[in-house]
Amino acid sequence: MASLNVGNLGEYLREQRRNAQLSLRQLADATGVSNPYLSQIERGLRKPSAEVLQQVAKALRISAETLYVRAGILDAERDRDEVETRAVILADPGLNERQKQVLLQIYESFRKENGLGTGDVAGAPGDGGDTSISGPRTGAAGDGGAVPPRPAG
C-alpha cells in the first residue's frame, strides 16, 4: 500500500506514544480506535479524521491542534503561531488542567477581540477538554464577589 504523505504524522504519533510509555494496544483501548487502524496511521498508510486525532491527542495528553497541522487539517503557515502558543500552554507542567483551559480561553478571547478569530480552531475538539471555567467567578454581582450589592431605593 502506498504512503498517503502522512508519514510525518505517523512517526510523530509513534514517538509521542512511546514517550507516554503506552503500547499500541493500550492506546487503542484509551481512544476507542482499533489497534490495526492506529498501526496503519503510525505507518503512514491511513489519514485519520479530526475525531480520531482528537481521541489520540486526549489519550496522549498532547495538543490536538499540533496533530491537525501534521495531518494537514489546519494550514501550518496560517495557524502556526496560534498552534505553537496553544501547545506551549498545554505542555506547561507548572499549570494544572483547569488553569491551562482558563488561560486558553483568555488567549482566545483576546484574539477574537483583536479580529484574529481562529475559525475552526476555536473550541476545536481535543484541545485538552472543556474550555468552560469551573468554580466560583469573582467580581460578578450576586456571587459574593467584589461588586457590592445595589442600595435599596
Q: DSSP code of 43?
A: T
CA distance 20 to 61: 9
Model pLDDT, residue 28: 96
SS3 breakdown of the chain: % helix, strand, coil, rounded to 5? 55, 0, 45
Give pLDDT tens digits along the chain (153 positions). Answer: 443 445 589 999 999 999 999 999 999 999 999 999 999 999 999 999 888 999 999 999 998 888 888 888 877 656 667 778 888 898 888 999 999 999 999 998 998 888 876 544 434 434 444 333 333 334 334 343 344 445 555
Model pLDDT, residue 127: 41
One-letter identity of residue 141: A
Model pLDDT, residue 63: 86
Model pLDDT, residue 78: 61
